Structure 1
Amino acid sequence: MSTMMKAMRFVGDLDDDFYKDERQRDVWNEASAVGLQSVFWAVFVSSAILPGSPAEQGRGSRSRC
């Protein structure tokens, strides 16, 4: 390891347990974001592919008065 990296590790104290917890939290947040985006895409794709309800399809443009 270079002298610069050793100095940065000493000054930043990157081996502290706080950073391990913080990294785990970041991984969890990213995984949650990916899961949520997957659900959104699934909803968008299914709403584009699936037809409307049969009651709405048979009505046409006439209104009942």
Structure 2
Amino acid sequence: MITGNESDFPFGDALSPAQLDTETGEYTKLAAVLELVGEHEGEEAEFQLVVAERFFESS
């Protein structure tokens, strides 16, 4: 549970376009998650499954 202003997510001036692409042209994790959000809009269970498979494969 997040209380007060405690969060691991970037916000305000901590969030920038530089977080979306790396210099190598590969997507960052943030860009990948945003893409998945668009692909699975309105399908929360499917989105959670895809994120779990992609980022938490070993758990």
For normalisation by structure 2, the TM-score amounts to 0.27
Larger Cα-atom Rg = 1
Q: Which has the higher contact order (CA 8 A, sep 6+)?
A: 2
For normalisation by structure 1, the TM-score amounts to 0.25
| Structure number having the greater helix percentage | 1
